[in-house]
Amino acid sequence: MSDPVVRPKSAGKTSRRSTQSVTLAEVAELAGVSAQTVSRALRTPEQVSEQTLVTVQKAVQSTGYVPNMTARNLASNRSMTVGALVPNLVGTIFTDVLSGLDETLSPNGYHLFVGTTGYDPEPEEEMIRAFLGRRPDGMVLTGTSHTRLARQMLSKANIPIIETLTLSGKPIDSLVGFSNSQAIRVLTESRITKGFKHPTFAGWLRDVDERANERLRGFQEAVTTKLPGEPLRFVNTEDLGISIEAGRYLAREVLMRHPETDLLVCSSDVFAEGAILEFVSRGIDVPGRIGVTGLGDFDLAKHLSPSLTTVLTPNKDVGRAAAEILLKAMASRRKTPGRVVRDLGFDIISRESA
Amino acid sequence: MSDPVVRPKSAGKTSRRSTQSVTLAEVAELAGVSAQTVSRALRTPEQVSEQTLVTVQKAVQSTGYVPNMTARNLASNRSMTVGALVPNLVGTIFTDVLSGLDETLSPNGYHLFVGTTGYDPEPEEEMIRAFLGRRPDGMVLTGTSHTRLARQMLSKANIPIIETLTLSGKPIDSLVGFSNSQAIRVLTESRITKGFKHPTFAGWLRDVDERANERLRGFQEAVTTKLPGEPLRFVNTEDLGISIEAGRYLAREVLMRHPETDLLVCSSDVFAEGAILEFVSRGIDVPGRIGVTGLGDFDLAKHLSPSLTTVLTPNKDVGRAAAEILLKAMASRRKTPGRVVRDLGFDIISRESA
């Protein structure tokens, strides 16, 4: 990519329009050196004398000059940015992934562009187009379910693409996550082994949320395998979103629609928290009358009474691992070598609730 | 869903240097028009015929070409980005602010650069330098406490700067938030009016966290005004961070160090949640023996037993309002006119816990 607009000379003149008021020329004037020397001191400090470096640094500090990395990055064909798309910024899972990405990328000079997509591939496609248009050096996505056009744009962008938080689907490039279906399958099977006989799945079930559907599939596999003949039951929050309130609703729903249920397998800790609070407030014995499980092991899980049996998912590690794969690939300016698929696993956390 | 393994022939050739494999020339070739015509169709569609537009659009879609906005934005002297710095991505308060920013900026074509600073002005200064170097069209910061050099860089960058989530301190440009000291003052005074006589403040108190210190000041003002002669008491989580566990620790601390306390005024809902869970698990009557208040009105507050008396803070509205001020200023390419200071207020939510 060539440098389409070289600015330095005109910068002083255009300062009324420019987004940056202090120019290289002003720094040079204050330091009593040429603009070229300032530029050299900032880009290749090893090429100027110690004394010049100190003089320039003082002038930079006292003027508050900030070197324009955009022009520099455009010239070097790197933006030093990574684009990350998550469904929302509310769920601990996604903000944990971003946190892991940020803490690994930032010390390496890369910064995060963050966008939210809802759980919907259509707005995601729009965001992908806008993000790729900013020429990031890498991109991180949630899940492997995208529109056909989004997949096409991503495969043709010659940058590493990391999809996260799932192991299912066909990855575009690299994939880092854990198996949502295995997590719920193993959890449900282990509770069936403990004696629960009539489990019901609870979640927010929609076509567009692939990870929720993977969890439902894991539940179905456990029931089919371990409890042949047992009907597959689920309760759906419909439009209540992911909230404790929605969990309370799910608890009431299961009592009304499937009173034979002795175990409520929730697709998220948030629902499980609400369900436990609802059952307890109604004087229903958890896990005596009905057990409850979650997924996420959020902050509240161990403090609930009864404490919550759940799955600890490696969210922050997913962010860190994605960042590490990206850093390696971006250093060599290539797609990730050999399409890394990294399974970070999960842990079943057995507590009082089931 | 397309097969990700099949790559266009040209991808191999250019992949070593370019971050984008599909070029304008390839789109032009497929469309059977000149590169200039493609460029015109993408930038000023009103200047080409309907038929040409359709042909070009088809070629863009089938090649997966993504126009380079970086070059375009550099030419127009706009990056169409906003930089946002928050202490972390864990607290609901900050992710709510980012959520409000994102949902307002994104439909207007602006994208968010997100960075985390801890609560520390030193790493924040580094981040501000790096962010300004990317020439954002605006910046959003948390609080008004920054290093001298950070303030200087921000004041000299000719872009709108919005500081958020406080009303205290000297704003660099515009300020959107609520008064943390007023929030805790009004809450504490109203509980004293209800009959509580020996309040103690609980939080994570450090020099660098200006907002936590404002809350402590609000508490001190309430006690000094309404309970003359009453000693000023507080308990500090030290290094336990902001977690339910830390709240449980604060509850144990207050029982041990200040057993005369009849009201625990927590600087965050998270601490209050932990304190209630700790008191209840010890069979201590809340609010009979000791009342508890929070700040934030997070999801759990109304579902706790006893439900939590707290302050509803307008986090998402802070993000939305900051974005609106930015959009207006960025449209005119100026600093925000007249240094807007917007107080979005707060609501006291009275529930069972105090």
Q: What is the pLDDT of residues A240-289, one digit of tens each?
A: 888 999 999 999 999 999 999 999 999 999 999 999 999 999 999 999 99
Contact state of A113 with B111 under an 8 Å Cβ cutoff? yes
Residue among B237, B88, B244, B248 at smallest CA distance from A298: B244
Which residues of chain A does B329 touch, with a Cβ-Cβ cutoff of 8 Å? none
Query: Residue B92's pLDDT is what?
Result: 84
CATH architecture of the domain B180-312 equals 3-Layer(aba) Sandwich (3.40)
Query: Residue B6's pLDDT is what?
Result: 34
Which residues of chain A does B279 touch, with a Cβ-Cβ cutoff of 8 Å? none
Which one of B63, B70, B146 would you mutate to disrupt binding with A, by most A Cβ within 10 Å of its Cβ? B70
Let me know if the fold of A80-178+316-345 is the same as that of A181-312.
yes
Smallest Cα distance from B352 to chain A, Å: 15
In this predicted structure, which of A69-73, A327-331, B162-166 has the lowest mean pLDDT? Answer: A69-73
Sheet holding B199-203, edge to edge: B234-236, B199-203, B263-266, B291-293
| CB-nearest partner of B20 from A67, A158, A170 | A158
In this predicted structure, which of A227-231, A278-282, B238-242 has the lowest mean pLDDT? Answer: B238-242
* pLDDT, mean of residues A54-73: 80
Closest residue, chain B, to A75 (C-alpha): B71
* pLDDT, mean of residues A226-233: 97
Ranges A78-92, A218-232, A332-346, most confident: A218-232
Query: Residue B41's pLDDT is what?
Result: 86
Phi, psi for A107 (deg, rounded to 5): -65, -15
Which residues of chain B does A168 touch, with a Cβ-Cβ cutoff of 8 Å? none
Q: Which CATH class is domain A80-178+316-345?
A: alpha beta
User: pLDDT class for A18, splitting at 50, 70, 90?
Assistant: very low
| CB-nearest partner of B157 from A19, A79, A171 | A19
Closest residue, chain A, to B88 (C-alpha): A99
Query: Residue A6's pLDDT is what?
Result: 33
Cα angle A344-A129-B334, degrees, rounded to a multiple of 5: 110
Closest residue, chain B, to A152 (C-alpha): B64
User: pLDDT class for A186, splitting at 50, 70, 90?
Assistant: very high
Looking at CATH, the fold of the domain delimited by A8-74 is given as 434 Repressor (Amino-terminal Domain) (1.10.260)
Per residue in B55-79, pLDDT tens? 988 888 888 788 777 666 667 778 8
Which residues of chain A does B136 touch, with a Cβ-Cβ cutoff of 8 Å? 19
Phi, psi for B106 (deg, rounded to 5): -60, -45
Query: Residue A226's pLDDT is what?
Result: 98
d(CA B295, CA B309): 9
How many angstroms from the chain centroid is the CA of residue B37?
A: 43
pLDDT at B23 over 90: no
Residue among B234, B238, B190, B196 at smallest CA distance from B215: B234
Are the CB atoms for B244 and B274 separated by under 8 Å? yes
User: pLDDT class for A66, splitting at 50, 70, 90?
Assistant: confident
* pLDDT, mean of residues A42-69: 84
Query: Residue A35's pLDDT is what?
Result: 86
Contact state of A21 with B129 under an 8 Å Cβ cutoff? no
Sheet holding A291-293, edge to edge: A234-236, A199-203, A263-266, A291-293
* pLDDT, mean of residues B201-229: 94
The average confidence (pLDDT) of chain A is 88
Contact state of B7 with A156 under an 8 Å Cβ cutoff? yes
| CB-nearest partner of A5 from B75, B129, B159 | B75
Sheet holding A341-343, edge to edge: A341-343, A174-177, A161-164, A138-142, A81-86, A111-116, B111-116, B81-86, B138-142, B161-164, B174-177, B341-343
Ramachandran region of residue A109, left (φ > 0), alpha (ψ -120 to 50) or beta?
Answer: left
Which residues of chain B does A329 touch, with a Cβ-Cβ cutoff of 8 Å? none
Contact state of B11 with A248 under an 8 Å Cβ cutoff? no
Q: Which CATH class is domain B76-178+316-344?
A: alpha beta
d(CA B241, CA B203): 9
Residue among A311, A319, A308 at smallest CA distance from A342: A319
Smallest Cα distance from A231 to chain B, Å: 32
Query: Residue A230's pLDDT is what?
Result: 97
Query: Residue B21's pLDDT is what?
Result: 63
Which residues of chain B does A272 touch, with a Cβ-Cβ cutoff of 8 Å? none
For the domain covering A181-312, report its CATH number.
3.40.50.2300
Contact state of A130 with B111 under an 8 Å Cβ cutoff? yes
Per residue in B318-352, pLDDT tens? 999 999 999 999 988 666 566 889 999 999 999 99
* CATH value of B9-67 in 1.10.260.40, 3.40.50.450, 3.90.180.10, 1.20.140.10: 1.10.260.40
In this predicted structure, which of A133-137, A145-149, A160-164, B313-317 has the lowest mean pLDDT? Answer: A133-137
Contact state of B137 with A19 under an 8 Å Cβ cutoff? yes
Residue among A224, A235, A135, A228 at smallest CA distance from A185: A224
Query: Residue B14's pLDDT is what?
Result: 36
Domain boundaries defined on chain A: 8-74, 80-178+316-345, 181-312
Closest residue, chain A, to B333 (C-alpha): A17
* pLDDT, mean of residues A196-201: 98
